Amino acid sequence: MPGGDFHPVYFSIVAAWILVAGIGVVASRSVVRAAVSMVLCFLGVAFAFALLNSALLAIVQILIYVGAISVVIIFGIMLTETPAGPRQQFFNRQSVIAAPLVVATAVLVAVILVSGDLLTAGETAVNPGLRQLSSLLFNRYVLPFELVSLVLLAAMIGAIVLARREDRQ
């Protein structure tokens, strides 16, 4: 596995990467730059998965978040944002909502850390095998799986219908 041995040096590089990219998302003045920072942040999370010895999750992270979701987001931004439009920070009036959320999250994380109920590495399926995953997905969880695909199909058809309606006007 790539980077199979978890090591503080690797972890600090990856953590710094994720933090810098995450700050880039909220601090950028341009929406496209924020989106690109988000791509880099997703990539950092993929590295973190790889460090945790889960190549499958790392690659799925890249495939879905970098390859699909980010492309859609950037596509959407590019088609709607005018570069000549006003460029200001768009999160500067949210501190009243953000502050309690941040405090609550910090408290939650602290409580979990103190209570010590963390899964230790190697105890559960750290590297879920592709076979186990797929046999679970297509036997035990086949109904939720099919439901999810139905929801996605509905969303797809809905998107097409909406786009078409605008076309006719």
Partner 1 sequence: MDVFLDILRGLVAVIIAYAFVFISALVNIVFERRTLAFMQDRLGPNRTGPQGILQSVADSFKMLGKEDFAPAAVDKRLFTLAPIMVMIGAVAVQLVIPYTKGWTGQDLNIGIIYIVAVTSFTVLAILIGGWASHNKYSLVGALRSAAQMVSYEVPMILALLVVAAATSSLSLNDVVSAQAGYQWFVFVMPTTFFIFFIASIAELNRGPFDLPESESELVAGYGTEYSGMRFGMFFLNEYAGMTIMSMVTVTLFFGGWEGPGEDLLVLWGVSVIPFVWFMIKTYVLVFALVWIRLSVPRLQVNELMAFAWKLLIPLGLANILASTAIILWAPQWKWVMAGFSWVVLIAIVGLFDPLLRRRLRRKHAQAPSLTRGTA
- What residues make contact with partner 1 under the rule CB under 8 A? 2, 7, 9-10, 30, 32-33, 36, 39, 55-56, 59-60, 62-63, 66-68, 70-71, 74-75, 78-79, 83, 129-130
Return the number of the residue (111 or 136) whose C-beta is nearest partner 1.
136
Residue 21: how many CB atoms within 10 A of its CB?
Answer: 19
CB of 102 to partner 1, least distance (A): 28
Burial class (CB in 10 A: 0-12, 13-18, 19+), 38: buried
Task: Report how far apart, in Å, the C-alpha atoms of 91 and of each of 2, 87, 132, 165 are.
Answer: 38, 12, 43, 33
Task: Give alpha helix (H) positions in 81-141.
Answer: 95-115, 130-135
Return the number of the residue (18 or 43) whose C-beta is nearest partner 1.
43
Return the number of the residue (63 or 121) whose C-beta is nearest partner 1.
63
CB of 47 to partner 1, least distance (A): 12
